[in-house]
Amino acid sequence: GYVSPYSSFVTKKILDAGAIIVGRTNMDEFAMGSSTENSAFFTTRNPKGRDRIPGGSSGGSAAAVSAHHASASLGSDTGGSIRQPAAFTGVVGLKPTYGLVSRNGLTAFGSSLDQIGPLTKSVTDAALMLSIIAGKDENDSTSIAIPSTDYTKALTGDIKGMRLGLPKEYFVKGLNDEVKTRIIEVTKAYEKLGAVITEISLPHTEYGVAVYYVIATAEASSNLARFDGVRYGRRAKDAKQLSDVYNRSRTEGFGDEVKRRILLGTYVLSSGYYDAYYMKALKVRTLIKQDFDNAFKQVDAIITPTTPTTAFKAGEKTANPIEMYLSDIYTITVNLAGVPGISVPCGTDIAGLPIGFQLIGKHFDEAAILRLAHAYETR
């Protein structure tokens, strides 16, 4: 029920551009989740299959666009939370390069990973939204000064000679056959449009999920320390002394998944384990980033599935956090490297559930992935 006393940078930009905001959307608590089942309110259903979840954490934002309640919405993406729900609900979802969009006014989860981005019905709308929300903000020290860009200019339809990399590490056990077949069809469509597909390697992919859950939880445990019942958020009623205010406000206020992550994050940052877990994860993060740097010496963009499966059933993964975490296996390394990624709808499985593919670009080369995405969409 918290109502922010000020508008975020992106909200201001959107209002200034003349858009009408019709409402707030449901999401996983503190953006921690892959199914919107960690919401403090209720589980949002997938408009394309009502027994399914819409993905998460920005599940409400994706469902609102998928169900035609809004032309566009915003989500935040720390490990896949724009792209994964976009894929599950059949809409376009773009995670910009880290630093392109200001995080001022966004509740921090993993500050070195979080980015705000649009969920839309078309690539053109994603380009329009990005043109509005991107830009330098004095109130976010990680926001980068780049000249204001009209990304719709990148949508030329001409992708002849563009080089697309297909990472071999993404086509392994756990990838659903129907999703795999569809992604191969997409690469064929790209070849027809004049792009050149080559196999590439991102050798540290297998460490992505583990590294993410060390770094993201470490940052979350630090970020969430501010919710002490004194300065921010909910305060426990009738607490008798200061330690009680802290203890009870946090015990009553945070949900189970959030508590799990605070515990894990505090553990990996504690003095005896800092080097073994947190430092190690930072080093592997650098290797993951180098994988992308090396790949981008050969190709202009990388093409992958967005998710290993289509939308799963509500309740299917709630008892098994690791299974839930694995639904972001194809999106997480993109945040660790800070590069941009977009999920584009590419048909459905036999049950009619949407499938999405992901295009990953070089730092600040949103133009390339938008051009490629648009060329496929309008082929």
Binding residues vs ligand GLN (CB under 6 A): 31-34, 57, 76-81, 109, 216, 328
CA distance 199 to 208: 20
CB of 317 to ligand GLN, least distance (A): 11
CB of 77 to ligand GLN, least distance (A): 5
Smaller CB separation from ligand GLN, 219 or 300: 219
CB of 37 to ligand GLN, least distance (A): 11
CB of 34 to ligand GLN, least distance (A): 4
> Could you tell me the CA-to-CA distances from 38 to 23, 35, 59, 95, 270 in Å, in that order?
20, 7, 11, 22, 26
CA distance 112 to 175: 28
Give the number of other Cβ atoms within 10 Å of residue 17's Cβ: 12
CB of 207 to ligand GLN, least distance (A): 16
Q: How many CA atoms lie within 13 A of 376 on its CB side?
A: 30
CB of 122 to ligand GLN, least distance (A): 23
CB of 61 to ligand GLN, least distance (A): 11
Smaller CB separation from ligand GLN, 34 or 44: 34
What's phi and psi for 222, nearest 5 deg? -75, -45
> Could you tell me the CA-to-CA distances from 136 to 132, 148, 149, 215, 248 in Å, in that order?
12, 9, 12, 26, 39
Asked if 81 and 347 count as a contact pair (C-beta separation under 8 A), the reply is no
Smaller CB separation from ligand GLN, 56 or 165: 56
Give me the residue whose beta carbon is nearest to ligand GLN. Answer: 81
Smaller CB separation from ligand GLN, 84 or 143: 84
CB of 94 to ligand GLN, least distance (A): 13
Smaller CB separation from ligand GLN, 79 or 253: 79
Smaller CB separation from ligand GLN, 155 or 329: 329
Amino acid at 269: L
CB of 181 to ligand GLN, least distance (A): 25
Residue among 28, 128, 13, 43 at smallest CA distance from 78? 28
* Tokens coding 308: 């290993």
Amino acid at 53: I
Smaller CB separation from ligand GLN, 57 or 310: 57
Amino acid at 217: T
Smaller CB separation from ligand GLN, 216 or 268: 216
Smaller CB separation from ligand GLN, 57 or 306: 57
Smaller CB separation from ligand GLN, 26 or 81: 81
Asked if 128 and 153 count as a contact pair (C-beta separation under 8 A), the reply is no
CB of 81 to ligand GLN, least distance (A): 3
